[in-house]
Structure 1
């Protein structure tokens, strides 16, 4: 078998230098966002279990907004419906970019993270349903809680303990988490929409279309785009569909590729990249941490209360789904893809690497908390138990993943150091460039002919 054939049939083959640099930059930003997220959650837990817990509950219940528009919402609801729409807007931009202009526009490469994301949704949901069956009191509504992967939390852990892992593995986790978020928002829209009002939903198409026309014409002025985005959000919220769906819909209208009329390759980055650079700091630095602060606060009640929460079959189903179901689903789906496509792991990689990333998939913090609130109602006993399970399951998953990835990262550190020394004058490691002595990999269908080397 030739080198070119082996590369075409390899899982997690080396990505392009541009994609590697982009993923590294995202990891650096998400490390800060993940730290803020954990800080917000920790403050909420300490406050809600302190003698001043009543003031924390009072803060969450403060109502603001115009009643005439049905937007007189609690601060906690504003965080879940409004701030997370910003988070899903960024996730939608990242997803569209990956499949339009990223290395994963090749269906052969996209198949692995997409299949892994689907497996990571199906298996936890089945395990939860089996464990929580017969628990009563609407327990079945929580089946989707352990299906979500938290991008900021997972990437923050990866950035700390796995920063020397090959870039293809980090791209895999990022894409898996983004696809996972898309599946989560579809689940929220379909299964957690109680009362659907068709007229506002259809009406939301008008400002959405206006927003789409403006961005397709490369309009960047926030004062012109923001009113249409807000109106789209208001109408989606009024329709009964969870308002975060508006963030994804808006993101999907943003063009990824540069405009040929504006100068082609010299026109600068596409609008999707431009908006991502502008909005991601708001999402990672404000929206997600504030949501975590307003949602993670649950009064545990000491060891006795913790034991009560974790013996609830709903909580057990969530914890097992995150700790066991997510890694089994991700790992099994990845193995099946390799089996049916007869692809092997790329040279130097190990299935322990995939297991470590699969365990990171069990970190289901932000979206899991959101689905728990939608399933059981904010502040209910079942919602509190679900929060305890999400926090415990995410923490255990992070610890298990850290043990494996830290050990594997040491193995890859020597390779990384060698690549850093091996830099050309253009700043690109030689390992990313074909040389006369090593046959160049076959280009993807739309990559065009390779450069002169």
Structure 2
């Protein structure tokens, strides 16, 4: 009897429900956290916000990590990078990067999606101020949570093959970003600590080879590895990726130790670590900024790199690879849908913010301008990408697959 009333109510609230499905919730949480950080940074609480994250806890001579901001970026974010490393290893062993035919298109797309934004950035920013060239990698990264969150809002409208493609490209993108951080954002090297880090990594590889079946020895060694890498001059978060690569796929009870660790830590990373990082890093004080600062060369270069460079590089290389027969087009996906997903890769929040802190360490003006560019480029990419995908033909044949996947998610 109440069904005629319930149906329109359910339909009206469907978009709200969509915010909380598994694909979307982590991305939506990041959006809310970023918005909260900006509100606080431009409120009477701005000084408290600054003091909380950048106030000195002790002298730098006592211990290098002497602010909460440093503990978050160099300490807590190791968990995020550890989860990234677990995802990468799983994909390389038994996932979408495990065979040449599966990994060809994602690797090509990710490479082009990093190169094109970097070139656009250097063209705009480098001509304005040579100091800005150091930030070339900022628009090269894609935020998995944000991008998958937008796809989650679209539900079965986007074919499963494209959701998988975006996830795989973002993972390869993360590999590239980690290599960039390790190679280009290492200021100095302490040979002794680097040797200790290499030795500890070797021990962890040996633990894997000799069949250590418990997780806790790997965690203890990972903490030691983080400490050594922290003092080696290489960014400490690289320790998270290296440690993850040593985690074995097997365990004593027949289940994969790697997958158990990933499933256990991924929610903590997505719903605690990354939001804390976002809140600590996304606060931009823009009340005193004029329009000329918002559209200064640095934010303009980053925003253009993310929105234009990402889609240009990825969509172009997909078209070329498919036309030349190098790779197959994602199954059941139109070119319009592929273009829409290419736009979504311009959402670069977590890794872009992280790289901006490394690129312009000690220069708060450049860091603040970089944040503006990241937020502008990410928001425009999310909105335009959503619209582009929203107006494409719906895939009714995929609706049941999508519903089954959602219902099976814990």
The TM-score with structure 1 as length reference comes to 0.79
How many Å separate the matches in 1 of 2:96 and 2:368?
Answer: 41
Cα displacement (A) at 1:70 = 3.1
Stretches of structure 2 lacking an aligned partner (at least 5 in a row): 1-19
Pick closer, same or farther for the CA change 1:351–1:245 going to 2, 3 Å.
same
Pick closer, same or farther for the CA change 1:48–1:137 going to 2, 3 Å.
farther
User: Aligned residue for 1:62?
Assistant: 55
Q: Does 1:152 align with 2:145?
A: yes
1:276-295 maps to which residues of 2 (within 5 A)? 276-295=262-281
Deviating above 4 A after TM superposition, structure 1's stretches of 4 or more consecutive aligned residues are 27-30, 64-69, 418-422
Cα displacement (A) at 1:418 = 6.0
User: Aligned residue for 1:416?
Assistant: 398
Secondary structure, in 3 states, of the residue corresponding to 2:359? Answer: helix
Q: Does 1:249 align with 2:242?
A: yes
How many Å separate the matches in 2 of 1:368 and 1:45?
Answer: 17
Pick closer, same or farther for the CA change 1:306–1:103 going to 2, 3 Å.
same
User: Aligned residue for 1:315?
Assistant: 299
User: Aligned residue for 1:120?
Assistant: 113
How many Å separate the matches in 2 of 1:371 and 1:415?
Answer: 41
Cα displacement (A) at 1:164 = 4.0
User: Aligned residue for 1:340?
Assistant: 324
Correspondence for 1:219 among 203, 207, 213: 213
How many Å separate the matches in 2 of 1:404 and 1:135?
Answer: 33
How many Å separate the matches in 2 of 1:370 and 1:86?
Answer: 14
Q: Does 1:299 align with 2:302?
A: no
Deviations 1:296-330 (A, max 9, x none): 0110126xx25233321111110100000000111
1:231-242 maps to which residues of 2 (within 5 A)? 231-242=224-235
Cα displacement (A) at 1:407 = 2.6
User: Aligned residue for 1:274?
Assistant: 260
Secondary structure, in 3 states, of the residue corresponding to 1:160? Answer: helix
Cα displacement (A) at 1:342 = 5.6
Q: Does 1:43 align with 2:29?
A: no
Q: Does 1:388 align with 2:388?
A: no
Secondary structure, in 3 states, of the residue corresponding to 1:391? Answer: helix
How many Å separate the matches in 1 of 2:81 and 2:184?
Answer: 18
How many Å separate the matches in 1 of 2:403 and 2:203?
Answer: 50
Pick closer, same or farther for the CA change 1:275–1:375 going to 2, 3 Å.
same
How many Å separate the matches in 2 of 1:346 and 1:231?
Answer: 43
Cα displacement (A) at 1:163 = 4.2
Cα displacement (A) at 1:421 = 10
Stretches of structure 1 lacking an aligned partner (at least 5 in a row): 1-26, 429-453
Cα displacement (A) at 1:29 = 4.2
Pick closer, same or farther for the CA change 1:51–1:379 going to 2, 3 Å.
farther
Deviations 1:364-423 (A, max 9, x none): 101111111111125611111110010011000000110122233x511x112466899x
Correspondence for 2:350 among 342, 346, 366: 366
How many Å separate the matches in 2 of 1:218 and 1:173?
Answer: 35
Pick closer, same or farther for the CA change 1:63–1:206 going to 2, 3 Å.
farther
How many Å separate the matches in 1 of 2:373 and 2:317?
Answer: 25
2:357–2:367 CA contact under 8 A, matched in 1: yes
Deviations 1:258-308 (A, max 9, x none): 46xx6xxxx543121111011111111111000000000110126xx2523
